[in-house]
Structure 1
């Protein structure tokens, strides 16, 4: 398809992008990955392996033929354009590629692992990873962040199988590899994964001083502070406008044989309090299902976040990730502006990305149609 650098220059020339020196500095690294992919031998760059040979690892893999492409780990602060570069990478790939948020991908993997264990597979990771490798040659992960011990304990084995099968991995993160899963439970078991990243991927810092998400909001107000009676009245007005005065009814979201509910919805518009959404033991799968169900979500009463409500804050971060990826339109009342909600303490660093996303979600063009069908774990 060509070079990322050419595509970047075209978008700058057309006015779709503002040139950024730090972004331009990392373009050669992205071009290198695409060039290496394009030069793979025909035996490894043709159709993805399928059938029993793919499942059991048969056939000529890139590892067997000596053709391995080194991946890329691109890290830097929030809003620096990393997600945009992942979009461009997948678009320009000469081979089958998938661009996916890392959190969503790992959720799919966990579903696949559960199914493999039910079948009695001794090494549940391998068949799941092989299924991925049979379909794509380039995985573009956005926002690698590992906070869940379940992900931390299997991601090393997962990446090892993918890489050994010749899948090329390009990922973004807000942290350097050594900062991943920092202070996590049993972190010593996670350290080989960091070594694997350093060995099989080039690690590059996107050192831009510009947050491209800031200053983009041109629409009406969607974030109301403080969360008082006036804010509630404003959200009541939003509800009336978005639902055209429809009477609210509870919304039941069913997921994996269980369900959770929100107190109010009408059509593809839903409304709930912060504690309805984040005060319950909900996870990424629940929030992804919600994000696929609604076009607009109204949240009342987002409090200040700190180590005192760490679990609730972590769920809020996961919720916003799901809404962001699904382009759900968000209206909320909160104790303060996004940047000041989680000012200090454990978890405040991770929240910088969430605050930046909340700002971007205030743009007048944000949101659109309801998400559609949730991802099928069998399609990973």
Structure 2
């Protein structure tokens, strides 16, 4: 049985929209199924997850960002001689609730390990609550590999209650909190200069784990020579999206340098990941509005 949170755990200084209230109803009601919260960026999914975690009356719980967890899972998996069960024992112990923030699947190699992981979690009767920008049917969107992941998608839909959180307000556009990431800048600059180039970070075959390792003990990062995304390869765009996620979640002040203004660098690219990174990078513009070093709206 999935643990429930008390309704007062979701008390807020703002009025919850209808979709958020529907999610709260699910998270405060007993059910054997997990919960899969999905929807566009900025609609409060992570807020709902955090409030749920704080309101659940158990210490046998773990809340992780999916990027970080999967990096640790890979490391433990290799360390234990490719034994997934031993890796999960190490990472999860005897928890009864696991919460993933920003669950997604893009790589077919990762998809195979994720499929086995999910089967094991359900076999262990660990309750799973996740947020995602993707509906279950949109996971592993690459048409070359999507069909291979369909059995896992069907398992997710069977074992988890799918809840759409797509209210009318993107709260990131009105949030007033200033973070280290939001204090960074997007500057229009010619190629060159001090920092790490986009090509070094995104054209090379780097994983999310590589980015997580890179930001350890780092508070500031400078990225140069960022092209318009339509001019980059599909793999490079995906890596840049993963990199922005890591920088955002690690709250790393980042100085982005590109020949293209912030409001134009994603022109010609579409997709849920693009929407998310544009929303996150837009915080630079809002936070630095009026600053000479950032692009104005």
Q: Structures share a fold, TM > 0.5?
A: yes
Q: Distance in 1 between matches of 2:102 and 2:35?
A: 13
> Would the alpha carbon gap of residues 217 and 300 (structure 1) be closer, same or farther in structure 2, given more than 3 Å must change?
farther
Verify the 8 A CA contact 1:112 1:128 in the aligned structure 2.
yes
Verify the 8 A CA contact 1:147 1:181 in the aligned structure 2.
yes
CA displacement at 1:335 relative to structure 2 = 4.1
Please list, as runs of the form range in 1=range in 2, the aligned pairs for 1:356-375 lying within 5 A after superposition: 356-360=279-283
Does residue 1:78 correspond to 2:75, yes or no? no
- The alignment partner of 1:84 has SS state of helix
Q: Distance in 2 between matches of 1:77 and 1:86?
A: 15
- CA-based RMSD: 2.8
Verify the 8 A CA contact 1:226 1:336 in the aligned structure 2.
yes
User: CA offsets per residue over residues 205-262 of structure 1, 9 Å max, x none?
Assistant: 0121211111446879743353349xx9xxx9xxxxxxxxxxxxxxxxxxxxxxxxxx
Verify the 8 A CA contact 1:298 1:332 in the aligned structure 2.
yes
User: CA offsets per residue over residues 262-287 of structure 1, 9 Å max, x none?
Assistant: xx6xxxxxx32322322322211111
Q: 2:95 maps to which residue?
A: 136
Q: Distance in 2 between matches of 1:172 and 1:361?
A: 24
Counterpart pick for 2:223 among 277, 287, 299:
299
- The alignment partner of 1:197 has SS state of helix
Q: Which has the higher contact order (CA 8 A, sep 6+)?
A: 2
TM-score, scaled relative to structure 1: 0.67
CA displacement at 1:164 relative to structure 2 = 1.4
Largest Rg, 1 or 2? 1
- The alignment partner of 2:100 has SS state of strand
TM-score, scaled relative to structure 2: 0.84
CA displacement at 1:316 relative to structure 2 = 1.1
- The alignment partner of 2:229 has SS state of coil
> Would the alpha carbon gap of residues 218 and 111 (structure 1) be closer, same or farther in structure 2, given more than 3 Å must change?
closer
Does residue 1:329 correspond to 2:248, yes or no? no
Could you tell me which runs of 5 or more consecutive residues in structure 2 were left unpaired when the two chains were aligned.
289-297
Q: 1:260 maps to which residue?
A: none
Q: Distance in 1 between matches of 2:206 and 2:260?
A: 24
Larger deviation, residues 289-298 vs 334-343: 334-343
Larger deviation, residues 191-200 vs 356-365: 356-365
Q: Distance in 2 between matches of 1:339 and 1:31?
A: 40
Counterpart pick for 1:30 among 24, 27, 34:
27
Does residue 1:179 correspond to 2:134, yes or no? no
> Would the alpha carbon gap of residues 352 and 2 (structure 1) be closer, same or farther in structure 2, given more than 3 Å must change?
same
Q: Distance in 2 between matches of 1:323 and 1:272?
A: 14
> Would the alpha carbon gap of residues 321 and 139 (structure 1) be closer, same or farther in structure 2, given more than 3 Å must change?
same
Counterpart pick for 2:10 among 8, 11, 18:
8
Verify the 8 A CA contact 1:78 1:356 in the aligned structure 2.
yes
Verify the 8 A CA contact 1:217 1:363 in the aligned structure 2.
no
- The alignment partner of 1:359 has SS state of helix
Please list, as runs of the form range in 1=range in 2, the aligned pairs for 1:35-74 lying within 5 A after superposition: 35=30, 69-74=32-37
CA displacement at 1:303 relative to structure 2 = 1.2
Verify the 8 A CA contact 2:96 2:126 in the aligned structure 1.
yes
Counterpart pick for 2:52 among 89, 114, 120:
89
User: CA offsets per residue over residues 263-316 of structure 1, 9 Å max, x none?
Assistant: x6xxxxxx3232232232221111101222211112223210027422222221
Does residue 1:116 correspond to 2:73, yes or no? no
Verify the 8 A CA contact 2:221 2:253 in the aligned structure 1.
yes
Does residue 1:224 correspond to 2:186, yes or no? yes
Q: Distance in 2 between matches of 1:127 and 1:184?
A: 33
- The alignment partner of 2:28 has SS state of helix
